[in-house]
Amino acid sequence: MRSSCVHAIVPALVSALLSLQGCKGQDQPKAKLIEKASPFDRGARSTRERAPDDPLRNPAREAPAERSGDQPSDEEIDALLAEAAEASAASNVVAARSALRKCANKVPANARCDGEYGLTMASAHNRRAAAIYYLEEAAGNDDADADADFYMRVGEALRAHGQFEGAISALEKAVTRDGSADNIYALGRALSLRPETISEGAETIAKARAIDDRLAWVYEEAVLRGQIPTREDAELGALLMRTYIERAAEQPKDEVLANIETLAARASELEATSKSYPLRKDYEAARAEALEAASAGDGPPSGSEGDPGTPPAAPQ
C-alpha cells in the first residue's frame, strides 16, 4: 500500500516541475500603483473675479468689486447711519450691515457709510479683506461731516489690522479735528510702527506729552528714542528712561510697564555709546542720500527703509 502511494505522488511532482519550467520564459505581470484621489481634495480654488453680490464671494480674502450704484440723498444717508447706529447699540450687527449696505461703496463715495460698514466687519476674521477695503476707503476720504471720533475708530481698526498707512491717514484727520493728547498719542503710536516714520512717531508722542505728561507715554517715547540712531535721540532716550525709573518708583508695581533693571541697563548703554552716533543732521543727510541711491537703482540702502544704520536693540 505504501508503494502505491509513492507511485501516485511521483508523477504529480514531475508534472508540477515541468509546468514551472515552461513558465520561466513568460512575462510576469508587474505590480501597479493605483492612485486614489483624496476625499478632502476640492481642487484648485477659482481666481476669477466674482460679482460684489455673488454669494460665493469670500469677504475674508476678496475685497468688494469697484464702487457702483447711485448714492442715496444726504437725508437718506443720515437716516441709514442713524438706523445702523441704533442696531449696533443693540448688538444687531446684521441689521446694521443691512442698512449701511445701501450707501456703502456707492457713487459718489461717502466716508461715513464706508467706514461704519467696515467697522461692523473689523473684528470678524471671515470678513477681513472686505473690512480693510471699506476702512481704507474711509481713511482716504476727508469728509467734512465726519468727526474726530469717527476717524479715530477707523484709524485704530486699521492699525489693529496692520494697515499702518491707512491708519496714519485716518488718525491725521482725527487730530486735525480734535488735537487732544489722546488723539495725538494715537497718531504717534501708529507712526512709530513704520521704520521710516519712527522718528516722527517719537516727536508726535512728545507733543502728546507736552499736553499730558503720562508716565506710560514717557516710557513709549524713551523706547522709541533708543531705537533712533542719532546722538540727540540716544541722549534723550537715556534721559527719559532715567525719568521713567524715578517716577515709576512712586507707582504700584502692577502699573510699572518695564523691568526697571533692564531699563536702567539700556539707559547706561545709551549713555556710554551716544557719542558714537551721528548727529541728527548728518544722519538725515546720509539717509536722504541712501534713499536717492535706492530710487536710482544703485542698490537698496542698508538698515530699514532707507536708514543708513541699525540702532542697538531696545528693551522689551
| Per-residue pLDDT tens digits for 45-89 | 555 555 555 555 688 888 888 899 999 999 999 999 999 999 999
Give domain status of residue 52, yes or no: no
Give domain status of residue 92, yes or no: yes
pLDDT of amino acid 49: 56
Q: In this structure, are 231 and 300 located in the same domain?
A: yes
Residue 141 phi, psi (nearest 5):
-115, 110
Distances (CA, A) of 179 to 5, 136, 149, 176, 187: 114, 22, 12, 6, 10
Give the range of the structural domain holding residue 274, as residue numbers without chain letter.
Answer: 212-316
Give domain status of residue 81, yes or no: no
> What is residue 56's three-state secondary structure?
coil
Out of 140, 159, 178, a domain closes at 159
Distances (CA, A) of 78 to 81, 103, 187, 256: 5, 10, 28, 45
Dist CA 136 CA 115 (whole Å): 8
pLDDT score of 315 more than 70 = no
Q: Which residue from 164, 177, 103, 173 is spatially nearest to 134, judged by alpha carbons?
A: 103
Q: Which residue from 101, 105, 93, 99 is spatially nearest to 138, judged by alpha carbons?
A: 105
pLDDT of amino acid 43: 63
The residue assigned the cell 532707507 is 306
| Per-residue pLDDT tens digits for 242-266 | 999 999 999 998 888 889 999 999 9
Q: Which of 9-23, 185-199, 299-313 has the lowest average pLDDT? A: 299-313
pLDDT score of 191 more than 90 = yes
Question: Is the model more confident about 238 or about 14?
Answer: 238
Give domain status of residue 8, yes or no: no
Count structural domains, the chain. Answer: 2
| Per-residue pLDDT tens digits for 281-293 | 999 999 889 888 8
Percent of the chain beyond pLDDT 90? 67
Mean pLDDT taken over the chain: 86
- Greatest mean pLDDT among 23-32, 35-44, 205-214: 205-214
What radius of gyration do the chain's Cα atoms show? 34
Out of 119, 141, 159, a domain closes at 159
C-alpha cell at 260: 526697571
Give domain status of residue 41, yes or no: no
Distances (CA, A) of 12 to 15, 20, 21, 105: 5, 13, 15, 90
Q: In this structure, are 136 and 217 located in the same domain?
A: no
Give domain status of residue 38, yes or no: no
Give domain status of residue 66, yes or no: yes
Whole-model pTM?
A: 0.77
What residues contact 201, with CB distance under 8 A and at least 6 apart?
Answer: 188, 189, 190, 191, 192, 193, 194, 224
pLDDT score of 196 more than 80 = yes
pLDDT score of 305 more than 50 = no
The residue assigned the cell 469677504 is 59
Contact 70, 106 (CB under 8 A): yes
* CA dihedral sign, ordered 168, 171, 175, 177: positive
Give domain status of residue 7, yes or no: no
Out of 119, 143, 159, a domain closes at 159
pLDDT score of 168 more than 70 = yes
Question: Is the model more confident about 64 or about 144?
Answer: 144
| Per-residue pLDDT tens digits for 204-234 | 999 999 999 999 999 999 999 999 999 999 9
C-alpha cell at 299: 542698490
